[in-house]
Structure 1
Amino acid sequence: MEKRYAIILAAGKGTRMKSKLYKVLHPVAGKPMVEHIIERVIETKPEQIVTIVGYGAEKVKEQLGDRSEYALQEKQLGTGHAVLQAAEFLKDKTGTTLVISGDTPLLTSQTLDNLFAYHQGKNASATVLTAHAEDPTGYGRIVRDHVGIVEKIVEQKDANEQEAAIQEINTGTYCFDNEELFNALAKIGTSNAQGEYYLTDIIEILKNEGKTVAAYQTADFNESLGVNDRVALAKANELMRERINHQHMVAGVSLIDPKTTYIDADVQIGADTVIEPNVQLRGTTVIGEDCLIGANSKIVNSTLESNVEIKTSVVEESVVRAFADVGPYAHLRPKADVGQHVHIGNFVEVKKATIGEHTKVGHLTYVGDATLGKDINVGCGVVFVNYDGKNKHHTTVGDHVFIGSSTNIIAPVEIESDSVTAAGSTITDNIKKGDLAIARARQVNKTGYASHLPF
């Protein structure tokens, strides 16, 4: 197999995005556009990847890390000039080089593999990835001769009336014979409306030298979408979401209303899980089989084992184990670990706490910085008071404990197994196994006092 290389163009600022965030770092389905690109490129198994950086170079490098080498384009003088910056890495190498833009997140590795194969099958010096566009406005046009051979690519601003009517467009993705690419780059000029070094001019240069130029047309125009403004960004997110949702449904996940279900690209979901409307599944969330994710829930970077039910709740960076249920209107904050068969009820907040199996935390309760054993019943309105204004403190609760309603547990404290706290208590000391802790003032009734009140 011929050696493959890749050049990712990621130097542009993206002025039309009107953003402090560099264009290729804008997220689509939960991760930056350039992250989608490098993942798809890696799937084509290149020998070497070079990313052309400019604006926001350090941020792009931070995102891609050691998966790529980097060349700096200090001045933005066009796509041809950008590719030329990779010469120090690739110029003298033999093989096929993929050139791809960092703002085309919908391209698939299958399409890129097809492009490589077509390019090699045609023994071409250059192969352009094209698409058919009902409205080609804004795209470069593929100009072919009378027998269908590619003659040149004309940019929108340089197109005459006849060329502007062409509906086959340039996606901005190419395969080149690597040596021919860098030979031709030395010959391009700036005689165009933008005064830039167009990469597309290489096509005409190679044609004039008698070299073979081919074009492979992808069947899905949507893959060609380039993101240059917020409108296109929203469209890319919509299309990616449709693709992701379709993949999950084909794999056995039920989405009650796919149009209102937002699933990030790296989310994993087991078969026979049901997702109700207006659900967001973000980041690297993993959901097991036979779960129910109720309407309006949001799950972020969390793991839900099989047979879990989440009812209209928020789960962030937490673990919910098999057969547990959460909500409605609960909030699992980072580092919550909810055990098997645990019940977390309405308006319960859990943060940095482990809750043992079969424990019930029914309603209106805060559990923070705590370890709870199994078979505990936590009454209504309980607060684990973990913060003294300066430091956080930990509470440990043993198995088979009953915590009465409206108990305040002032950490640090240990409540041993099989003990009870009386409702309304404020617990400041440890409780021994089997004890009942009562920490409240005795009731005093003032005889006749109410009769003197003005109402």
Structure 2
Amino acid sequence: MCGGRGTRLGGDVEKPLVPVAGTPMVERVVRALAESRVDDVHAVVSPHTPATRERLRERDGVAVIDAPGDGYVADLGHALARVERPVVTVASDLPLLAGDCVDRVLDRFAGASLAAYVSVDRKRRLGVSVDATATVDGRAVAPTGLNVVADAADEPIVCADDRLAVNVNRPRDHRVAAALAGAP
């Protein structure tokens, strides 16, 4: 999913193309998916991300889906209507994602949709923003942006991995991601 405006992040670069340690976030996510057991990669872009669309159309192994740009949920629904399930979904603002993170979530897949969360405490310890929360097994958690969508109801899983806790939505999140990615 790489069609958001990125208004909270600021700047004049489309959010998916914001570099973290010299590499655009969307490229980092595509690389992580290529290193995982995921077979096909589809990039869901919108009218808000024309430069991202053009960059990804030129990339081997990535199929581009043009969504209307009506928001994350609407664009996700648009994309899901065009792919076969089950499907891994991931937000392009998860620049520390790695193939092994994706595979660990896939290891938990047993037919029901999975929604990956991290603890709110983990996000606060790292100093990154917490925009949405839920409660899983009595713990305050936040969505990671990594999910497996199937036809059965959602099953929440809580992951203990800092790489899944850093969604770049604000300038501070960007600084934390860059530091964790080893940027000078």
Using the size of structure 2 for normalisation, the TM-score is 0.84
CA contact (8 A) 1:16 1:228 kept: yes
- Work out which structure has the larger RCO, using CA pairs closer than 8 Å and 6 or more positions apart in sequence: 2
Q: Distance in 1 between matches of 2:21 and 2:157?
A: 27
Q: Among 31, 54, 57, which residue is 1:62 paired with? A: 54
Do structure 1's residue 46 and structure 2's residue 38 form an aligned pair? Answer: yes
Which residue in the other structure is 2:97 paired with?
107
Where in structure 2 are the equivalents of 1:44-443 lying within 5 Å? 44-55=36-47, 57-64=49-56, 65-76=59-70, 78-87=71-80, 89-90=82-83, 93=84, 95-120=85-110, 123-124=111-112, 126-134=113-121, 135=124, 138-144=130-136, 148=137, 166-177=139-150, 180=151, 211-241=152-182, 262=184
In the aligned structure 2, how far is the partner of 1:86 from the partner of 1:114? Answer: 24
Q: Distance in 1 between matches of 2:74 and 2:51?
A: 22
Shift of 1:73: 2.4
State how far apart, in whole Å, the 2-side matches of 1:58 and 1:170 are.
27
Structure 1 pair 137–28 and aligned structure 2 pair: CA distance change class (3 A): closer
Q: Does 1:24 align with 2:11?
A: no
For 1:52 and 1:108, the matched residues in 2 are separated by 19
Indicate the residue corresponding to 1:324 in structure 2. none
Q: Contact (CA 8 Å) 2:120, 2:130: kept in 1 or not?
A: no
The corresponding residue for 1:34 is 26
What is the match of residue 338 of structure 1? none
SS of 2:130's partner is coil
Which has a greater percent of strand?
A: 1
* CA apart distance, 1:139: 3.3
Cα distance, 1:108–1:87 mapped onto 2, change above 3 Å: closer
Cα deviation, 1:351-409, whole Å, max 9, x if unaligned, reads xxxxxxxxxxxxxxxxxxxxxxxxxxxxxxxxxxxxxxxxxxxxxxxxxxxxxxxxxxx
Partner secondary structure for residue 66 of structure 1: coil
* Aligned mates of 1:67, 1:51 — CA distance in 2: 10
Q: Which runs of 5+ in 1 are unaligned?
A: 1-8, 149-162, 181-210, 242-260, 263-455
The RMSD of aligned alpha carbons is: 2.3
Indicate yes or no: 2:3 matched with 1:11.
yes
Partner amino acid, structure 2, of 1:168:
V
CA distance 1:68–1:137, change in 2 (3 Å): closer
Change beyond 3 A, Cα 1:128–1:88: closer
Q: Do the aligned partners of 2:116 and 2:147 also contact (CA within 8 Å) in 1? A: yes
The change in CA–CA distance for 1:129 and 1:35 in structure 2 (over 3 A counts) is same
Instruction: Measure, in 1, the Cα distance between the counterparts of 2:33 and 2:66.
Output: 20
Gaps of 5+ in 2: none
Does the aligned pair in 2 maintain the 1:48–1:68 contact within 8 Å? yes
1:135-168 superposed Cα distances (whole Å, 9 cap, x missing partner): 4963322334xxx4xxxxxxxxxxxxxx9xx522
Whether the 8 Å contact between 1:133 and 1:221 is mirrored in structure 2 is no
* Alignment match, 1:318: none
Cα distance in 1 for partners of 2:181, 2:30 equals: 16
AA partner of residue 145 (structure 2): G
* Mapped contact 1:35–1:63 kept (Cα < 8 A): no
> What letter is aligned with 1:40?
A
| SS across alignment from 2:87 | strand
Higher gyration radius (CA): 1
Displacement of 1:96 after TM fit?
A: 2.2
In structure 2, how many angstroms separate the alpha carbons of the residues matched to 1:49 and 1:70? 9
Change in 2 beyond 3 A, CA 1:143/1:132: closer
CA apart distance, 1:39: 0.5
- Please tell me whether the aligned partners of residues 119 and 214 of structure 1 are also in contact (alpha carbons under 8 angstroms): no
Q: CA offsets, 1:23-78, max 9 Å, x none?
A: 110101111000000000111243322211124543213333232112222333x3
Determine the C-alpha separation between the residues in 2 that align with 1:141 and 1:19: 26
CA contact (8 A) 2:47 2:69 kept: no
